[in-house]
């Protein structure tokens, strides 16, 4: 784990997300998939975004990438990348920014490559579209060498170059996606559950590849997933999402040693252990209908320490430790003065 | 490498085997079916002759003579073997109705017209239909295009021959009168102007194109809607694929995505459909050919059926089946070039 995390950050923010809301339109009303999330990401930092399926982590990523597809829509918010608000950019400006600044390692690696194009062409097309005209235009040979270099960086043999996606294994495809993501040296890479569909050994290989690439390039990353074990090894900070809101953000060590939000506690407790067979904690209660969140705290229906206050007033984020903020009424009095 | 080559030879061998089996089976069926049908073609011919000239002398002898000549008195097994032997070197026998013309010559004369007409109209239908379908599904298509296209699909629900008759009526009968022109905009019948010598000359080629416009249009109008709807469905499926998501994230140009990511993948099932309709190339346009008096296979078969001209029916049917099987064989061999996931390796 990096040392720079535990210190109050002197570095600048690469990404600032403020009050981002992404809703999906349905006949029965909007689903509040991402409901006002705020966080920031520093230069070179890696943030883990965790939470159960359907909590809105992928939608949040799509909101940042401006790739929300109908019926989804971005309702409000700011996504500032190096100070520039992506939500106000024109489509053409945004297209130029994509991949050169903001790359994605996709969720479904198995189907994320175009089945009718050879691997090299899929990496090549992204290099070609973002090549600004003029002196820095690469020759065909240079592009080929660059692609081979990228493949080497993610530990793939050169023969992959000419192959079609269906000739590769799942882990190889995922590494092709990683090679593609770093092709233009972006400032931010979002990895959307990049290891979910793989077996544990290949997961490890892919995670190591991501880690190695990150260390080589010093790129900032947002890693989305629900494998807490994997997160512990890769990320600097973790944001825990529940029902469209971030309920806790903290350095990875604090999340594991001092999980503070009741939901985070539940999440950490449910990590299986090899040493002891602990009884599976049954999660009580159901998540509310995402179209009609209850007044007050969103976690009230499943919370073990729910009070009357939670049923009426939405909790604010309390900074209980340096860089650990928790949205829960239980920490009302432990708020340390904000030093920012 | 040798393993790959072996695989390819096995693949080729299997496809050729299926091809030969298809041709043999159909040849056998063509042999059997007319012989099960009621009516004797020679008796029918004599009856027609006697209708025209009142009385035919020695009708029995003539019938017997013809039966002998066509080998109809031999046992079926011998007829069958001889028939297969003849087919093998494309000897399709003599036409009964227009004796002594051989069936091969008659087919040889009709086939190029039909193949030309069908090929042009099938390809035009395929290109137009898929282009329209792609536009219907593409998110960035201008709204007015999306609104204008669906009404043109009304033609899809009109039978092909009606569309042909309507086109003929408007463009060959009426329009030039309304416009006050002396000659029809498009010719009424035939494949090229009267008095022109078929050959590679500009007047002849232009005349063929001029004569072909209405038949081709009538086929395209009626069929492109099927392709368009199929393509639209496939495009929508492709739109939801993960690689489309990544393509958008990559910031590729919209047209690049449309062509290389969407159409390229959505077109694959359509290609199979194209193969099937190319199969109908040789015999598919019977009604349109009759309406435009186009001298192709359709008109040939139609006349042969009316005259109970068995050798011509058999020969034409056989050629149609060989044509279909060849088209399917070719598409089978070409498909791996379009979809890399289908390889020559046997599975």
Give dist(CA B27, CA A213) in Å, integer. 65
Which chain B residues are within 8 Å of A166, Cβ to Cβ?
A: 340-341
Q: Does B253 touch chain A (CB under 8 A)?
A: yes
Q: Does B173 touch chain A (CB under 8 A)?
A: no
Q: What is the pLDDT of residue A188?
A: 93
Q: Which 3 state secondary structure label does DSSP give A14?
A: strand
What digits encode the pLDDT tens for the residues B171-186? 888 888 888 777 778 8
Which chain A residues are within 8 Å of B339, Cβ to Cβ?
A: 115-116
What string of pLDDT tens digits covers the 340 residues of chain A? 444 444 444 567 899 999 999 999 999 888 888 988 999 999 889 999 998 888 888 899 999 998 888 889 999 899 999 888 998 989 888 998 899 899 999 886 678 999 989 999 999 999 998 887 656 678 889 999 999 999 998 889 999 999 999 899 888 998 899 999 999 989 999 998 887 777 888 888 888 888 888 888 889 999 998 888 888 888 999 999 998 899 999 999 999 998 989 899 888 888 877 777 777 666 667 788 888 888 888 888 888 888 888 888 888 888 888 888 889 888 887 766 544 4
Give the largest CA-CA distance in chain B. 87
Mean pLDDT of B83-99: 78
Give dist(CA A183, CA A164) in Å, integer. 19
Q: Which 3 state secondary structure label does DSSP give B94?
A: strand
- The residue of chain A with its CA nearest to that of B261 is A114
What is the nearest CA distance from A219 to chain B, expressed in angstroms? 17
Give dist(CA A195, CA A215) in Å, integer. 19
Which chain B residues are within 8 Å of A112, Cβ to Cβ?
A: 242-243, 245-246
Option in A97, A125, A166 nearest B341 (CB): A166
- The residue of chain A with its CA nearest to that of B265 is A116
Phi, psi of A266 (to 5 degrees): -60, -40
Cα B208 to Cα A279, B122, B164, B176, B294: the distances in Å are 84, 17, 18, 20, 11
Option in B245, B339, B341 nearest A67 (CB): B245
CB neighbourhood size of A257 (10 A): 10
Assess contact for A48 and A239: CB atoms under 8 A. Answer: yes
CB neighbourhood size of B5 (10 A): 10
Assess contact for B20 and B325: CB atoms under 8 A. Answer: no
Could A129 and B251 be called an inter-chain contact, meaning their C-beta atoms sit closer than 8 Å? yes
Assess contact for A195 and A174: CB atoms under 8 A. Answer: yes
Which chain B residues are within 8 Å of A180, Cβ to Cβ?
A: 250
- The residue of chain B with its CA nearest to that of A109 is B242
Assess contact for A39 and A246: CB atoms under 8 A. Answer: yes
Which chain A residues are within 8 Å of B251, Cβ to Cβ?
A: 94-100, 126, 129-130
Q: Does B339 touch chain A (CB under 8 A)?
A: yes
Option in B245, B250, B256 nearest A99 (CB): B250
Assess contact for A42 and A167: CB atoms under 8 A. Answer: no
Domain ranges of chain B: 110-332
Q: Does B347 touch chain A (CB under 8 A)?
A: no
Residue B212 CA neighbour count, 13 Å, CB half: 17
Phi, psi of A239 (to 5 degrees): -110, 125
Phi, psi of A186 (to 5 degrees): -70, 165
Q: Which 3 state secondary structure label does DSSP give A221?
A: strand
Element (H, E) at A207: helix A200-217
Q: What is the pLDDT of residue A248?
A: 93
Domain ranges of chain A: 13-131+139-331
- What residue ranges in chain A does DSSP mark as E strands? 13-24, 31-42, 46-50, 72-81, 84-85, 102-105, 188-192, 220-224, 237-242, 245-251, 317-321, 324-327
Could A114 and B243 be called an inter-chain contact, meaning their C-beta atoms sit closer than 8 Å? yes
Could A116 and B340 be called an inter-chain contact, meaning their C-beta atoms sit closer than 8 Å? yes
* Among B31, B121, B21, B18, CA closest to B76: B31
Q: Which 3 state secondary structure label does DSSP give A250?
A: strand
- The residue of chain B with its CA nearest to that of A91 is B251
* Among A214, A181, A10, A2, CA closest to A102: A181
Q: What is the pLDDT of residue A11?
A: 61
Which chain B residues are within 8 Å of A133, Cβ to Cβ?
A: none
Q: Tell me the CATH number of domain A13-131+139-331, given options 1.10.150.20, 3.40.50.300, 2.130.10.10, 3.20.190.10.
A: 3.40.50.300
Residues 6+ apart with CB under 8 A from A279: none
Burial class (CB in 10 A: 0-12, 13-18, 19+), B156: middle
Q: Which 3 state secondary structure label does DSSP give A220?
A: strand
Assess contact for B296 and B117: CB atoms under 8 A. Answer: yes
Cα B185 to Cα A238, B168, B170, B215: the distances in Å are 76, 10, 9, 14
- The residue of chain A with its CA nearest to that of B253 is A129
Give dist(CA B13, CA B21) in Å, integer. 12
User: Counting one residue from A and one from B, how many pairs have CB atoms under 8 Å apart?
Assistant: 75
Cα B282 to Cα A234, B33, B105, B107: the distances in Å are 64, 21, 16, 11
Burial class (CB in 10 A: 0-12, 13-18, 19+), A158: exposed
Which chain A residues are within 8 Å of B243, Cβ to Cβ?
A: 111-115
* Among A59, A100, A43, CA closest to A192: A59
Conformational region of residue A19, where left means phi above 0, alpha means psi within -120 to 50, and beta covers everything else: left
Assess contact for A220 and A46: CB atoms under 8 A. Answer: yes
Could A129 and B252 be called an inter-chain contact, meaning their C-beta atoms sit closer than 8 Å? yes
Pairing of strands A102-105, A46-50: unpaired
* Among B108, B82, B85, CA closest to B95: B108
Assess contact for A162 and A120: CB atoms under 8 A. Answer: yes
Distance separating the N- and C-terminal Cα atoms of chain B: 18
What is the nearest CA distance from A230 to chain B, expressed in angstroms? 24
Could A111 and B241 be called an inter-chain contact, meaning their C-beta atoms sit closer than 8 Å? yes
Assess contact for A248 and A255: CB atoms under 8 A. Answer: yes
Give dist(CA A55, CA A242) in Å, integer. 5
Select the residue from A98, A125, A162 to test the B interface by mutation, using most B Cβ atoms within 10 A. Answer: A125
Angle at B164 between CA B163 and CA B166, to 5 degrees: 65
Q: What is the pLDDT of residue B233?
A: 92
What digits encode the pLDDT tens for the residues B327-343? 888 877 877 777 777 76
Q: Is the dihedral of CA A148, A152, A156, A157 positive or negative?
A: positive
Q: Which 3 state secondary structure label does DSSP give B95?
A: coil
Q: Does B248 touch chain A (CB under 8 A)?
A: yes
Q: Does B341 touch chain A (CB under 8 A)?
A: yes
CATH topology classification for B110-332: MetI-like fold (1.10.3720)
CB neighbourhood size of A338 (10 A): 8
Option in B241, B253, B260 nearest A117 (CB): B260
Element (H, E) at A171: helix A170-181
Q: What is the pLDDT of residue B1?
A: 46
Give dist(CA B325, CA A54) in Å, integer. 52
Mean pLDDT of B225-249: 91
Residues 6+ apart with CB under 8 A from B11: B344, B345, B346
Asked if pLDDT for residue B248 goes beyond 50, the answer is yes
Q: What is the pLDDT of residue B283?
A: 67
What digits encode the pLDDT tens for the residues B300-327? 888 888 887 878 888 888 888 888 888 8
Residue A126 CA neighbour count, 13 Å, CB half: 31
Cα A225 to Cα A29, A34, A154, B254: the distances in Å are 28, 16, 20, 30
Q: Mean pLDDT in chain B?
A: 83
What digits encode the pLDDT tens for the residues A268-314? 888 877 777 777 666 667 788 888 888 888 888 888 888 888 888 88
Residue B122 CA neighbour count, 13 Å, CB half: 22
Q: Does B252 touch chain A (CB under 8 A)?
A: yes
């Amino acid at each position: 784990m990096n040392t720079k995390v535990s210190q109050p950050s002197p570095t600048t923010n690469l990404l600032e997300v403020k009050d981002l809301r992404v809703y999906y339109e349905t006949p029965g009303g909007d689903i509040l998939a991402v409901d006002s999330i705020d966080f920031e990401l520093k230069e070179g930092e890696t943030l883990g975004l965790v939470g159960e399926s359907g909590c809105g982590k992928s939608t949040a990523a799509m909101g940042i990438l401006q790739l929300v597809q109908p019926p989804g829509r971005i309702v409000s918010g700011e996504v500032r990348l190096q100070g520039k608000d992506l939500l106000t950019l024109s489509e053409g400006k945004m297209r130029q920014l994509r991949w050169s600044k903001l790359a994605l390692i996709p969720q479904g690696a198995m189907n994320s490559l175009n089945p009718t194009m050879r691997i090299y062409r899929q990496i090549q097309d992204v290099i070609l579209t973002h090549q600004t005209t003029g002196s820095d235009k690469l020759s065909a040979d240079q592009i080929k060498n660059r692609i081979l270099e990228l493949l080497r960086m993610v530990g793939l043999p050169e023969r992959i170059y000419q192959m079609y996606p269906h000739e590769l294994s799942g882990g190889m495809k995922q590494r092709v996606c990683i090679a593609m993501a770093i092709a233009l040296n972006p400032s931010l890479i979002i990895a959307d559950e990049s290891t979910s569909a793989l077996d544990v050994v290949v997961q490890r290989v892919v995670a190591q590849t991501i880690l190695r690439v990150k260390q080589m390039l010093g790129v900032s990353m947002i890693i989305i997933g629900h494998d807490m074990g994997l997160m512990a090894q890769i990320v600097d900070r973790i944001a825990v999402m529940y029902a469209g809101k971030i309920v806790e953000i903290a350095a990875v060590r604090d999340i594991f040693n001092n999980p503070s939000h009741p939901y985070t506690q539940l999440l950490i407790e449910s990590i299986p252990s090899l040493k002891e067979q602990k009884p599976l904690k049954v999660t009580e209660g159901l998540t509310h209908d995402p179209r009609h969140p209850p007044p007050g705290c969103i976690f009230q229906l499943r919370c073990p320490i729910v009070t009357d206050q939670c049923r009426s007033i939405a909790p604010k984020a309390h900074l209980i430790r340096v860089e650990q903020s928790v949205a829960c009424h239980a920490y009302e009095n432990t708020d340390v003065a904000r030093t920012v | 490498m040798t393993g790959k080559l072996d695989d390819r030879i096995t693949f080729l061998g299997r496809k050729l085997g299926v091809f030969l089996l298809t041709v043999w089976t159909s040849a056998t069926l063509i042999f059997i079916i007319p012989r099960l049908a009621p009516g004797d073609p020679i008796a029918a011919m004599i009856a027609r002759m006697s209708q025209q000239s009142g009385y035919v002398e020695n009708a029995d002898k003539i019938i017997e003579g013809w039966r002998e000549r066509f080998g109809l008195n031999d046992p079926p097994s011998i007829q069958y073997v001889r028939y297969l032997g003849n087919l093998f070197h494309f000897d399709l026998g003599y036409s009964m109705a227009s004796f002594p013309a051989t069936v091969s010559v008659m087919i040889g004369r009709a086939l190029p017209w039909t193949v030309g007409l069908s090929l042009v109209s099938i390809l035009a239908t395929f290109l137009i239909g898929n282009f329209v379908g792609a536009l219907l599904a593409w998110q960035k298509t201008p709204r007015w295009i999306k609104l204008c296209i669906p009404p043109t699909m009304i033609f899809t629900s009109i039978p092909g021959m009606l569309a042909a008759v309507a086109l003929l009526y408007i463009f060959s009968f009426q329009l030039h009168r309304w416009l006050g022109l002396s000659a029809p905009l498009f010719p009424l019948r035939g494949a090229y102007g009267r008095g022109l010598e078929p050959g590679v000359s500009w007047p002849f080629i232009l005349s063929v194109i001029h004569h072909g416009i209405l038949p081709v249009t009538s086929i395209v109008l009626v069929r492109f809607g099927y392709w368009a709807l199929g393509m639209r469905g496939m495009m929508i499926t492709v739109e939801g694929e993960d690689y489309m998501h990544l393509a958008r994230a990559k910031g590729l140009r919209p047209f690049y995505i449309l062509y290389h990511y969407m159409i390229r993948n959505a077109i694959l099932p359509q290609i199979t459909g194209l193969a099937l309709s190319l199969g109908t190339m040789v015999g598919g346009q019977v009604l349109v050919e009759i309406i435009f008096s186009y001298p192709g296979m359709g008109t040939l078969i139609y006349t042969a059926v009316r005259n109970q001209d068995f050798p011509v029916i058999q020969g034409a049917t056989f050629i149609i089946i060989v044509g279909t099987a060849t088209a399917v064989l070719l598409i089978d061999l070409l498909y791996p070039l379009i979809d890399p996931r289908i390889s020559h390796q046997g599975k």
